[in-house]
Amino acid sequence: MSLPTEQVGSIPRPRELIEAVRESGGAATPELAHLYERALRDTIEELEATGSPVITDGEQTKPSFATYPLVGLANLAPDGAEIQFEDGHIRQLPRLTAGPFRYSVHAVSFLTQAIAIARVPVKQAVIAPSALSLLYPADPIDGYPREQFIEDLLDEAEADIRRCLDAGAYKVQLDFTEGRLAVKLDPSKQLLRQFIDLNNRVLERFSDDDRQRIGIHTCPGGDQDSTHSGDVPYHELLPSLLELKAGNFYIQLASEKDPRSVLKVIGEHAKSNQRIFVGVIDPIATELETAEQVRDRVLQAAEFIAPDQLGTTDDCGFAPFGDDTSTPRELAFAKIRARVEGTRLASEVLQA
């Protein structure tokens, strides 16, 4: 038995690229295009050198994991929903000012660039529609009711996923980092139920075979070495999370204080057709995990999750926002290498 292992998504961008993006103000320039291409190629080569059987593009050309579909849209204002992290810093979404809502960029554009370079399968991360539902303001938009916005959002989210599947993505992963945050914002879980329902309305548009190539990622956020909802008990999210109609789940675990209790909940609620990729690497920890630590985390997970349903991943992307410099690029690749090797070690033990 060889356990599958996949990364979540982002890799820290080269500092030269971050500075060039900042100086350009987001405007496209030949120099910036060159730096993007170089960062993408270097990232893919480095990921392949870790021994990863599946890679991503490292999100090198995305402004963030959440806002890539919004670049250049004219019907947005900057004063949307705020997400506060535990260290006090804030990330803010834009606010929709008029309809209709359309993506300006679909994730397949990132995927095709990566596939053209990579020598191993490529998975593609996309933003979950539940996150983008936060763009609609509390006060209704004149002539564009929320109900119509939701229908447009569902169509765009479906297209984002389907185009990647059709273009040859190994997997398509929906980033659902707002799941745990929803419980923090609304302990009644009404908001979480709305998020789950919205995402399922998209997932239901796909066949059973397609859904086996679709995954859901959850974590308490990970930006500038801080999280936004790590204080929310995981058992408040996981039963609902596993009701999502996807075949793969990428679940943050390495940074949890009591991983056994989390694994117990997962084991009780996971469906037989769901592959559970447990987080065995903490991207915001400065310490480099050893392959032996990873092995032991996998073997612990195998006590609660059947090995034929088990896989490994990182807790979160290493730099979900393009300007995050908190994790050295070299450390990210070293951590991924430890995950790959540790997963191999665990596979050997489980085979014995």
Note whether residue 267 is domain-resident.
Answer: yes
3-class secondary structure per residue, 75-92: CEECCCCEEECCCCCEEE
pLDDT of residue 352: 77
- Predicted confidence (pLDDT) at residue 109 exceeds the cutoff of 90: yes
Find the mean pLDDT for residues 295-301: 98
Range of the domain at 210: 15-351
Please write the tens of the pLDDT for every residue from 173-192: 999 999 999 999 999 999 99
Q: What is the pLDDT confidence band of residue 23, given thresholds at 50, 70 and 90?
A: confident
Residue 90 or residue 113, greater confidence: 113
List phi, psi (to 5°) of 85.
-95, 160
Note whether residue 61 is domain-resident.
Answer: yes
Mean pLDDT of the chain: 95
Note whether residue 10 is domain-resident.
Answer: no
β 95-96/90-92 pair status: unpaired
Task: Determine how many CB atoms are found less than 10 A away from the CB of residue 264.
Answer: 15
DSSP H helical segments within 50-80, as ranges? none
pLDDT of residue 67: 93
- Going by the DSSP 8-state scheme, the letter that residue 323 receives in this structure is T
Note whether residue 188 is domain-resident.
Answer: yes
Please write the tens of the pLDDT for every residue from 240-267: 999 999 999 999 999 999 999 999 999 9
Total count of domains within the chain: 1
Find the mean pLDDT for residues 228-243: 94
pLDDT of residue 142: 96
Please write the tens of the pLDDT for every residue from 281-296: 999 999 999 999 999 9
Note whether residue 170 is domain-resident.
Answer: yes
Find the mean pLDDT for residues 63-88: 93
pLDDT of residue 324: 87
Q: Is the peptide bond before 100 cis (omega within 30 degrees of 0)?
A: yes
Find the mean pLDDT for residues 337-347: 98
pLDDT of residue 24: 81
Q: Which residue has the tokens 């996309």?
A: 126
Q: What is the pLDDT confidence band of residue 108, given thresholds at 50, 70 and 90?
A: very high
- For residue 246 the two structure tokens come to 């996807």
pLDDT of residue 50: 98
- For residue 142 the two structure tokens come to 């004149």
User: Taking the model in full, what pTM does it have?
Assistant: 0.95
Tell me if 191 sits within 8 A of 238, measured CB to CB.
no
Please give the share of the chain, as a percent, with pLDDT higher than 90: 88
Please write the tens of the pLDDT for every residue from 129-156: 999 999 999 999 999 999 999 999 999 9
Q: What is the CATH number of the domain that holds 36?
A: 3.20.20.210
- Predicted confidence (pLDDT) at residue 27 exceeds the cutoff of 80: no
pLDDT of residue 112: 98
Note whether residue 295 is domain-resident.
Answer: yes
pLDDT of residue 1: 64
Note whether residue 261 is domain-resident.
Answer: yes
pLDDT of residue 127: 97
Q: Which residue has the tokens 């926002």?
A: 321
pLDDT of residue 41: 97
Note whether residue 283 is domain-resident.
Answer: yes
Task: Determine how many CB atoms are found less than 10 A away from the CB of residue 119.
Answer: 9
pLDDT of residue 306: 96
Please write the tens of the pLDDT for every residue from 43-75: 999 999 999 999 999 999 999 999 999 999 999
Residue 323 or residue 244, greater confidence: 244
